[in-house]
């Protein structure tokens, strides 16, 4: 993937400053990092990084959302994670020099910034405070992997879907008087990809959960997890 020089822009917000392992840098150092980031707009479903590119860039989500997917031999997507505004990813591949086994795709129209491997190594790994913060970040990533393993450990399809909803609640949940709203609109196919079950199975399970007043589909297609959802997931676990 080739990035043209005229695509380089100064980022328009403080996303860099708010990243934990950049917080130890001075204002001048943060400004320098920002000047090296290539920022580009992507339309919905446009590929941001192919699998072979992900070892060469760390990326930042300035607006919109992206999904990280594994594409199987049939061309179907297995969703690994979804990253929203102010999220960042790819630092692990830059640290160990290995390509993440996934492709990054714009889940909706999104502005993405990319920091190259050479710039990352030069301005990040030479800073002691930053290295310590990276260790903490890697621990967070490990917890994300454990969450995915938990989802796939269930033999029961309903328990897998419940685990996906629980994970989405942790990532995107917004408290409401009625329960928790998942502030990320996923299609039944995308939930199916997340849970590794058939789309028809997800539709059947969601319809059953809604009938039992465990979830509710709102007018904007967001999913509300009612107050009985926690009871249901505790029973499943």
Q: Closest Cα to residue 92, out of 137, 155, 158, 129?
A: 137
Per-residue pLDDT of 50-63, as tens digits, reads: 888 888 888 999 99
CATH superfamily of domain region 5-151 = Jelly Rolls (2.60.120.10)
How long, in residues, is the chain?
Answer: 237
Q: Quickly state the pLDDT bin for 12 (edges 50, 70, 90).
A: very low
Write down the domain spans for the chain. Answer: 5-151, 155-236
- State the pLDDT at residue 5: 32
CATH topology of domain 155-236: Arc Repressor Mutant, subunit A (1.10.10)
* Mean pLDDT computed over every residue of the chain: 80
Query: In a 10 Å sphere around its CB, with 0-12 CB exposed, 13-18 middle and 19+ buried, how is residue 40 labelled?
Result: middle
Label residues 79-109 b or e (16+ Cβ within 10 Å = b): bbbbbbeebbbbbbbbbeeeebebbbbbbbe
pLDDT in tens, 165-224: 988 888 788 898 899 999 877 889 888 888 888 999 999 999 999 999 999 998 888 899
């Amino acid at each position: 993937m080739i990035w043209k020089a005229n695509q380089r822009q100064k980022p328009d917000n403080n996303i860099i400053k708010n990243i934990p392992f950049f917080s130890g840098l001075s204002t001048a150092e943060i400004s320098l990092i920002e000047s090296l980031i290539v920022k580009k707009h992507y339309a919905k479903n446009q590929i941001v990084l192919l699998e072979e590119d992900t070892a060469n860039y760390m990326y930042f989500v300035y607006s919109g959302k992206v999904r990280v997917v594994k594409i199987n031999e049939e061309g179907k997507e297995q969703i690994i994670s979804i990253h929203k505004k102010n999220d960042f990813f790819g630092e692990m591949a830059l640290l160990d020099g290995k390509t993440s086994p996934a492709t990054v795709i714009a889940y909706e129209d999104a502005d993405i910034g990319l920091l190259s491997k050479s710039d990352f190594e030069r301005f990040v790994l030479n800073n002691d405070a930053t290295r310590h913060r990276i260790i903490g970040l890697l621990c967070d990533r490990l917890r994300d992997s454990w969450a995915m393993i938990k989802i796939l450990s269930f033999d029961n399809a309903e328990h897998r879907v419940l685990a996906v909803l629980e994970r989405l609640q942790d990532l995107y949940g917004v408290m409401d008087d009625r329960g928790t709203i998942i502030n990320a609109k996923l299609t039944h196919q995308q939930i199916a990809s997340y849970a590794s079950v058939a789309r028809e199975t997800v539709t059947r399970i969601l319809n059953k959960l809604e009938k039992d007043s465990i979830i509710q589909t709102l007018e904007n297609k967001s999913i509300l997890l009612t107050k009985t959802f926690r009871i249901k997931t505790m029973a499943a676990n």
